Amino acid sequence: MSDLVNFAWKDTLSFLFIFVRIGITFALIPIFSAEIVPRRITAVIAIFLSLVILPIVPTPGIDAQNLNVLTLAVLLIHELLVGLCLGLAINVIFSGVQIAGELIGYQMGFSIVNVVDPMTGTEAPITANLLYILAFLLFLSFGGDHMLIKALVESFNIIPVKAGLPQQAFLTAVITYVGEAFVIGIKVAAPVIGILLIVNIAFAIMSRAIPQMNVFIVAFPVTIAIGLAFMIIIVKMMPHFMSGALNNAWTFLKAAMPLY
């Protein structure tokens, strides 16, 4: 009976560590961390996925009989940090798209018509909401959800459950990758920012050449019209950006996890 209890206790510990890693990952992914998605739904999905992964991940080599509260806390923190890394890889992509939409909205003059984003629960220009939803659909169409599940499974082979803290190289890689959000934002918003900069310079020259013209009344609709026209170019370029961003996320995970 004691052997059976010990075996069940090891499986319970394995499930706990898997659930913590998957749960914190899902808590950072915009799809499941959205305000419109109930937390109970996210928890149920994380529990179900943990049960599915449980038979195929390596059993942690932990002495369950000699396990104390301090060691358990360190192990849970370890799983928490790994889950943060996995969730960050996906969250950076959507954060970059959100930054791009806000930059475009401000340049087009949409900062005065912010709406509440149902996914994040924060106010953002309508251009940010449009690009955010488009990025979400492209994420699913490119198999980003499959990539995430694959990364979760492989993470237990690369970073098994153990009591330890991340190395400096791992933290450096994570911090460097966070800056990718701003790179994605600038790349996506570059066409609109560039053309509207030229338009604003042209209106500035016209205001000096024709002082009688009310530049603000003329520039506002022209800026919106040109911005919307170039938004079509951005929408057509989004599949290319998302494909490259997902490849970069996968490359980051494969390079950073062995450094833990």
pTM of the predicted model as reported, rounded to 2 decimal places: 0.79
Confidence class for position 114, pLDDT limits 50, 70, 90: low
Q: Output the CA torsion 7→48→29→257 (10° steps).
A: 30
Q: Which residues pair with 115 in a beta bridge?
A: 124
4 has a pLDDT exceeding 50: no
Query: Exposed, middle or buried, 226 (CB in 10 Å: 0-12/13-18/19+)?
Result: middle
Phi-psi region of 165 (alpha: psi -120 to 50; beta: other; left: phi over 0): beta
- pLDDT digits over 193-231, tens only? 888 888 888 877 887 777 776 777 777 778 888 888 888
Helix residue spans in the chain (DSSP H): 2-28, 39-53, 69-108, 126-141, 144-158, 168-178, 180-209, 215-256
- Extract the tokens encoding 118: 């149902």
pLDDT at residue 122 in the model: 62
- In the DSSP assignment, the letter for residue 60 is P
